[in-house]
């Protein structure tokens, strides 16, 4: 199987846009929530995956995005797949939040990052099996939620939507890439195995 060319254009584009937005606009102007969207601020739907609420949120997500993109290309996800998956899952989760949780304020690249992690569990099967890969990728999410539940029920209630949306991003990334993988890569692999 041919390995795709390693190019970091799209992750770099995401980091540059996020940095420009973070240092030039307050997150309150470009983050997304259903109520603001319904008031006519439609641009928020496009900008929210590149917006961060504070510096900690910004640098954590940028570091995670950079390292996850290296991992994605190491495993064999192409840059177009990476970017497509990132945008698709972020906007799909945004749409679900708009319909189900219109009061929730959304900002950050983390949903897209979780979608990439979901896709990595499909593509990375040649290095680590799924029963190890999936819990490993979801460990930070579940540990944070368990920690919140143990600290207090109110904190857990407040972080429950975060947990659901992040998990939604992971599941979307997993499912979308699985379907894409079956249509694009599987037929080629079958032909390669048949023809010596």
Partner 1 sequence: MPAPISGFGLAIALIAAGLIIYIRYKKFLNEKFSKLADQQKPQSTPKSDFKPEDKPEEKKENAAPAVSTLEKKE
- Give contact residues for partner 1 (rule: CB under 8 A): 31, 33, 53, 57, 59-68, 70-71, 74-75, 103-111, 113, 117, 124, 127-128, 136-137, 139-141, 143-144, 158-159, 161-162, 165-166
> Considering the complex, what minimum distance in angstroms separates the CB of residue 158 from partner 1?
5
Residue placing its CB nearer to partner 1 in the complex, 42 or 59: 59
> Considering the complex, what minimum distance in angstroms separates the CB of residue 163 from partner 1?
10
Of 183, 75, 166, the closest CA to residue 119 belongs to 75
> Considering the complex, what minimum distance in angstroms separates the CB of residue 3 from partner 1?
10
What spatial distance separates the first Cα and last Cα of the chain, rounded to whole Å? 13
> Considering the complex, what minimum distance in angstroms separates the CB of residue 121 from partner 1?
11
Residue placing its CB nearer to partner 1 in the complex, 16 or 179: 16
Residue placing its CB nearer to partner 1 in the complex, 41 or 60: 60
Residue placing its CB nearer to partner 1 in the complex, 74 or 190: 74
> Considering the complex, what minimum distance in angstroms separates the CB of residue 159 from partner 1?
6
Query: At residue 138, what are phi and psi to the nearest 5 degrees?
Result: -90, -5
Q: Which two tokens stand for residue 138?
A: 């979801």
Q: Which residues fall within 8 angstroms of residue 145, CB to CB, at 6 or more apart?
A: 156, 159, 160, 163
Residue placing its CB nearer to partner 1 in the complex, 67 or 150: 67
Residue placing its CB nearer to partner 1 in the complex, 59 or 179: 59
> Considering the complex, what minimum distance in angstroms separates the CB of residue 187 from partner 1?
25
């Amino acid at each position: 199987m041919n390995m795709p060319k390693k190019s970091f254009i799209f992750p770099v584009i995401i980091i540059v846009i996020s940095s420009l937005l973070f240092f030039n606009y307050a997150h309150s102007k470009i983050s997304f929530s259903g109520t603001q969207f319904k008031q006519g601020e439609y641009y928020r739907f496009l900008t929210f995956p590149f917006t961060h609420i504070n510096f900690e949120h910004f640098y954590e997500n940028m570091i995670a995005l950079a390292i996850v993109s290296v991992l994605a290309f190491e495993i064999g996800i192409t840059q177009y797949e990476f970017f497509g998956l990132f945008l698709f899952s972020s906007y799909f989760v945004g749409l679900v939040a708009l319909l189900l949780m219109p009061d929730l304020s959304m900002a950050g690249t983390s949903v897209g990052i979780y979608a990439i992690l979901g896709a990595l569990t499909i593509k990375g099967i040649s290095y680590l099996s799924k029963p190890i890969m999936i819990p490993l990728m979801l460990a930070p999410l579940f540990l944070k939620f368990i920690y919140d539940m143990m600290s207090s029920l109110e904190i857990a209630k407040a972080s429950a939507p975060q947990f659901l949306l992040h998990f939604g991003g992971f599941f979307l990334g997993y499912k979308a890439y699985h379907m894409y993988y079956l249509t694009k890569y599987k037929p080629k692999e079958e032909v390669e195995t048949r023809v010596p």
